[in-house]
Chains A and B, each alone.
Chain A
């Protein structure tokens, strides 16, 4: 086949479709993964004994469970107990659960690195614990967690390809379909690789800009890279 035609009529349109699905997976997962991660970190750090243990259990479970296995359970396992999820939904849920577990560890580490005096001073001014966490602890902790969280985001971009294992044709899946149909493995996977590389590079740039914008003199970010 004419390489130009293969590129413009077949490969690019297919990868474009796949890219859109990958971006949907990632951009739907990230905010909920962050939110749930914050919730679990707070529960673990400030919750009573029961809540704190539940959050610890959550982290152990979802860090220990291979993501692929989790996706299989959500997509193939749940229907046997009457819960049927579309493949895309199952993927997003699996990613959120996994992403949140790792995010919560970075956030909790950042919370623990904040000096006790910050909380003490906030409470001495009449803030409730919740107010102190919202206005003093979290703004500092999230800044410190940016390097770790951004690493997690980059992993997410890459492991979103696992969705293909439960039939979601995202970027890597779209590449696989083209490659097997036209027997152009090297060309196709090279192209797919370039797209992932571009995504990761863009993310890195974005994170650097975010870090600079949120930087505060004297507040060092914990380096995660």
Chain B
């Protein structure tokens, strides 16, 4: 049986010490959907993304990708992580590798792809994010926006089924934010399944299939972007939307 969902999150709980950070989160994602997560700081958005690829181990609950259970899979976790890309707020490019080496390293080491083939694929992914001319530059020689585009290419090179973005533009100024969001919009339109933590409501409006408002480790409200933004049902959502709209 294959379900219609590419990703299913069932009742995730996570505590840090006696602090409950995720308080029973459940949702489903269909192939090609772009889900935007918003919510106040410290609400557990990063923790949620990290629990999906088990960089943080949830205390309770399940994550399924294509009906394969990711939670509790033990040492096989690295196989599942190949199918779940991740893009970080501060890029985390590998400092000792050039842009193209950053993109090809995982296909070579993890997928055992031939170096020549991996290089070709890496160049294609760099082209996809408009960074082909910067292939031989080191991370320190790139602007934040360029670095983030390379890190998106690095994720894409593993052909993931889903990509998780944790505030991919919040370290960038508006100009650079725009160039990264353009790449992400293209990705969304090309059918990539994406979970994005961001407060860029313009992005949400143009490509999100759903916006999820989280607070206190719970999903308070979720729905199509237009509805959440114009007509939020929950007063907390309304307040929060009002606050981020001011910027």
A interface residues, Cβ below 8 angstroms from B: 115, 117-118, 120-128, 131, 135-136, 139-140, 143, 216-219
Distance between A214 CB and nearest chain B CB, rounded to angstroms: 9
Which bracket fits the contact residues of B?
Answer: 20 to 34
CA distance A125 to B78 in the complex (A): 8
Pairs A-B, 8 closest by C-beta atoms:
A218-B140, A126-B82, A117-B92, A121-B92, A125-B106, A124-B86, A126-B81, A217-B138
CB-nearest residue of chain A to B53: A124
Asked if B140 and A120 make an inter-chain contact with CB atoms under 8 angstroms apart, the answer reads: no
Name, among B95, B96, B141, the residue most crowded by chain A CB atoms within 10 Å (CB to CB): B96
Given the interface contacts A120-B88, A218-B140, A218-B141, does A127 sit within 8 Å of B109 by beta carbon?
yes
Within the assembled complex, what's the spacing in Å between the Cα atoms of A21 and B156? Answer: 55
Nearest Cβ on chain B to A222's Cβ, whole angstroms: 14
* Residues in B lying within 8 Å of A, measured CB to CB: 53, 55, 75, 78-79, 81-82, 84-86, 88, 90, 92-96, 105-106, 109-110, 138-141, 151, 154-155, 158
Q: Determine if B55 and A218 form an interchain contact, defined as CB atoms under 8 angstroms apart.
A: no
User: Could you tell me the distance between the alpha carbons of A127 and B138 in the complex, rounded to whole angstroms?
Assistant: 21
CA distance A219 to B96 in the complex (A): 7
A219 to B82, CA, bound (A): 28
A-B interface contact total, Cβ < 8 Å: 76
- Decide if B138 touches A216 in the complex (CB within 8 Å): yes
Q: Are B94 and A118 in contact (CB under 8 A)?
A: yes
**Given A128-B78, A216-B138, A218-B138, also A117-B88 (CB < 8 A):** yes
Report yes or no: A125 in contact with B82, Cβ–Cβ below 8 A: yes
Q: Identify 21 residue pairs between A and B in the complex whose beta-carbon atoms are under 8 Å apart, listed by A's number.
A: A115-B92, A120-B88, A121-B94, A122-B94, A124-B53, A124-B81, A124-B85, A124-B86, A125-B110, A125-B158, A126-B81, A126-B82, A126-B106, A128-B78, A135-B105, A136-B96, A217-B140, A218-B95, A218-B139, A219-B95, A219-B96
Question: Nearest Cβ in chain B — how far from A177, in angstroms?
Answer: 48
Nearest-neighbour CB distance to chain A for B230, whole angstroms, equals 35
Q: Which residue of B lies closest to A142 (CB)?
A: B96
**Which of A124, A139, A143 is most buried by chain B, counting CB atoms within 10 A of its CB?**
A124
**Cα–Cα, bound, A115→B88 (Å):** 13
| A117 to B85 CA separation, bound complex (whole angstroms) | 15
Given known contacts A125-B158, A127-B106, is B78 in contact with A118 (CB within 8 Å)? no
Considering the chains assembled together, what is the distance between the CA atoms of A197 and B68 in angstroms?
65
Please tell me if the beta carbons of B96 and A216 are within 8 angstroms of each other in the complex: yes
Q: A124: which B residues are within 8 A, CB to CB?
A: 53, 55, 81, 84-86
Closest to B108 in A: A135
Taking CB atoms, residues of chain A closer than 8 Å to B92 are 115, 117-118, 120-121
Contact partner of B94 among A123, A126, A136, A217, CB < 8 A?
Answer: A136
Given contacts A217-B138, A218-B138, 20 further A-B pairs with CB under 8 A are A120-B92, A121-B88, A123-B81, A124-B85, A125-B85, A125-B158, A127-B106, A131-B109, A135-B109, A136-B96, A140-B95, A216-B95, A216-B96, A216-B138, A217-B140, A217-B141, A218-B95, A219-B95, A219-B96, A219-B138
Q: Which residues of B contact A143 (CB under 8 A)?
A: 96
Contact of B79 among A117, A121, A126, A131 (CB under 8 A): A126
Residues from chain B with a CB closer than 8 A to the CB of A131 are: 109-110
**Cβ-closest chain A residue relative to B155:** A125
Contact flag A123-B55 (CB < 8 Å), given A128-B78, A135-B105, A140-B96: yes
Q: A131-B109, A218-B138 are in contact. Are A139 and B96 (CB under 8 A)?
A: yes
Q: Write the nearest CB–CB distance from B185 to chain A, whole angstroms.
A: 22
Do A126 and B141 touch across chains, with their CB atoms under 8 A apart? no
Bound-state CA distance A128–B106 (Å) is 11
Residues of A within 8 A of B79 (CB): 126
